[in-house]
Structure 1
Amino acid sequence: MTQGPRLTPLAESLPASVPFVGPETQERDRGHPFIARLGANESLFGPAPSVIEAMANAASETWKYGDAQSWNLRVALADHLGVGMDHIMVGEGIDGLLGYLVRLTVGQGDRVVTSQGAYPTFNYHVAGFGGELVTVPYRDDHEDPDALIAKAREVDAKLVYIANPDNPMGTWHDAARMQAMIDAVPDGTLLVLDEAYLEFAPEGTAPAIDPDDPRVIRMRTFSKAYGMAGARVGYAIGAKPLITAFHKIRNHFGMARVSQAGAVAALADQDYLAEVQAKVTVARGRIAEIAAENGLATLPSATNFVAIDCGADGDFARRVLSELIARDIFVRMPFAAPQDRCIRVSVGDPADLDAFAAALPDALAAARNA
């Protein structure tokens, strides 16, 4: 008999699964498409016309590898952020950067602290490199900075992760609270501050960037407000020694030439970003109206999605989710109790939200009668 691949003991112990079941997978399983794609927190408003033009122009040069240093993009980001380009690392979305960071810092048995039910792709990377995940609960549907820091100190964590604004709840802390968290990071621990949704948050959400602060690395993306989720462009801001260390292990040709060109154009088109931000504000209000029309409450959101409290427990919310999917509406929900009493609905254009509004009453009725 031919022997199969000789996996490492760690790899052998891991499930062959991914953190999210994508809408395309669900559509293949169902045999037909969704009519409203409101579950992945993509920007249904798409990228700016200037971005599409830049990417189309770059497509003719796809025979070339992308710039391994993402030089033009890092220069543009440095100018936009007011930091040196040596403090910026570009990677294959925040997901790719999280994988590199965990590989750099987490060995077998090293402890990492996060919130129970927070962004699962981070947990996926920690498991993949043999780290031990330690969790703390949310507090009032917010991640709890004080509890995260206390637990990191207690277990001597290598990393402590928080998203601000938060995914999956959409809640947020102000800059002063986040700066206090940075200031409280224990020696030997690195704070991973995921700011993927920052462009949707109120002014005063993000603390000022100190690029030389070794206690924190900040991660941002072009996947959300800039409408480029499929292009996979994220970036990290951190102290130079840590940013330099990424070169030890990163995929040096991981960034496509077309993606780099699109991100440079997106950053230059701040007028379009402002248009998207305005549309997101309107759509969040529409989702809240739809929820209220059905006797449901929503959580305040600083993201491009809204968490709707289904008014019962996680089992009921899962039935609502299933009934919406059966009616061709793709949404998602938090994984951990008590946050799993909610469903999470991404903003969309009026037609998408009208489809959601039409499906929700029947989905709720079917869930209640199940």
Structure 2
Amino acid sequence: MIGPRYTPLVASLPETVPFVGPETQERLRGRPFRARIGANESVFGPSPRAVAAMRAEANEVWKYGDAQNHELRQALAAHHGVAAENIIVGEGIDGLLGYLTRLVVAPGDAVVTSDGAYPTFNYHVAGFGGVLHKVPYRDDREDLEALIARARDVAPKLIYLANPDNPMGTAHPAASVAAMVTEVPEGSLLILDEAYIEFAPDGLAPRIDPADPRVIRMRTFSKGYGMAGARVGYAIGAPDLIGAFDKIRNHFGMSRISQAGALAALEDQAHLAQVRAQVAAARDRLAAIAAENGLAALPSATNFVAIDCGADGDFARRVLAELVARDIFVRMPFVAPQDRCIRVSCAPETEMAAFAETLPQALAAARAG
């Protein structure tokens, strides 16, 4: 045989990318978007201090990044009031989800998640041969009771929960999540994906003992800190679990430029507070735009708003296509009934005005089609 001999598992998988990025769409369309408000990036941008730190570190880019992420781990530990042994840094939450899946999921192992939740996690599970067991959303929120009930039935290695949720923007109160942790079956690990927690109301994040072996919390610099392109994520968990990442992670996976930027961003909490305020104002603006068009915006604890288009998924897909045709990049949930919505990221007024101008045209075209 000429060429690589793939494993049976890899040979059985489709060639796929979980998300079709705006750059890919722009290449296919032959022109740029006017408003890039679909990937939940922080259009408000990173801290100027982070930009300056990354610019300065570019002169040192001939060096590998610190394989231990020492300074950033120490700073994150101090920020969260935990020990450095409770912190692992990696290439975004996506990278950490891949490492964690590799650590615990063997072919045939059960994994529980919600139908329509973050698809990149499912991609990693499939890549290591895990078997996904999905429960539906309830009232546009992840159903905590159903997740635990399914976990009791199938004894999964992992249970995935995003709070606040992507793609709906909804959230559960801290007490409900803390209670869920106490119900995690023996031998299972709850992934609490808190990528959007910086945008949530104060008090939404539960207090969880960082040494609790039943849960690992994942955070990122991609959202509130405005550094999606730098690929910096981290997790908080029990020391034994955090230490296990060293068995399989890419020890030089972190760019020293990204490390420097994340450290400076963490130190600039004033900028984060400013972004939080801008996002809150933009959420209100999106809700008003929806109402002006006879649509309803779902309550959001994130930097995006899910807008109910008032019909089914086919209609929402037509609305999305008409927005894209008019150079407005947005996305939508994949699974019914959540796919009746489009999902629009918060942004400065220039982008919000472009969306406000274009949405009535897109709705009219979708209704005519």
Residues 27-38 of structure 1 mapped to structure 2, 5 A cutoff: 27-38=26-37
Matched, 1:217 2:211: no
CA distance in 2, matches of 1:64, 1:34: 36
Task: Name the residue aligned to 2:180.
Answer: 181
TM-score by length of 2: 0.99
Stretches of structure 1 that go unaligned for 5 or more consecutive residues are none
Counterpart residue number, 2:248: 249
Q: Does the Cα contact within 8 Å between 2:190 and 2:215 map onto a contact in 1?
A: yes
Show CA shifts across 1:270-316 (max 9, x none): 00000000000000000001000100001000000000000000000
Where does residue 352 of structure 2 map in the other structure?
353
For 1:151, the equivalent position in structure 2 comes to 150
Residue 367 of structure 1 pairs with residue 366 of structure 2: yes
Query: How far 1:248 sits from its partner (Å)?
Result: 0.2
**Per-residue displacement from partner, 1:305-362 (whole Å, max 9, x unpaired)?**
0000000000000000000000000000000000000000000100001001111001
Q: Deviations over 1:254-278 (max 9, x none)?
A: 0000000000000000000000000
Q: Are 1:128 and 2:127 counterparts? A: yes
Q: Find the residue that maps to 2:71 and give its secondary structure.
A: helix
Write out per-residue CA displacement over residues 97-146 of structure 1, whole angstroms, 9 at most, x where no aligned residue.
00000000000000000000000000000000000000000000000111
The equivalent residue for 1:269 is: 268
1:57 aligns with 2:48: no
Q: 2:299 corresponds to which letter in structure 1?
A: P
Give matches, 1:292-311, under 5 Å: 292-311=291-310
Q: Percent identity?
A: 72
Quote how far apart the aligned CAs of 1:209 are. 3.2
Cα deviations by residue, 1:155-214 (Å, 9 ceiling, x for unpaired): 111100000000000000011000010000000000000000000001121111311100
The residue that corresponds to 1:140 in the other structure is: 139
**Structure-2 separation of matches of 1:256 and 1:73:** 12
Amino acid at match of 1:34: F
Counterpart in 2 of 1:336? Answer: 335
Q: Is the 8 A contact 2:178 2:208 kept in 1?
A: no
**Structure 1-normalised TM-score?**
0.99
Distance (Å, rounded) in 2 between the aligned partners of 1:138 and 1:209: 24
Q: Which ranges in structure 2 are unaligned for 5 or more consecutive residues? A: none
Task: Provide the secondary structure at the position in 1 that maps to 2:212.
Answer: coil
Task: In structure 2, give the amino acid aligned to 1:264.
Answer: L
> C-alpha displacement at 1:3, in angstroms?
1.8
2:313 matched residue in structure 1 = 314
Equivalent residue, structure 1, for 2:13: 14
Flag as ranges the 4+ runs of structure 1 deviating above 4 A: none
Q: For 1:60, what is the secondary structure of its paired residue?
A: helix
- Deviation at 1:226? 0.2
**Cα shift readout 1:238-260 (whole Å, capped 9, x = no counterpart):** 00000000000000000000000
1:196 maps onto 2:195 in alignment: yes
Q: How many aligned residue pairs are there?
A: 369
- Separation in structure 2 between the aligned mates of residue 285 and residue 13 of structure 1, nearest angstrom: 46
Aligned partners of 1:262, 1:119: CA distance in 2, in Å?
26
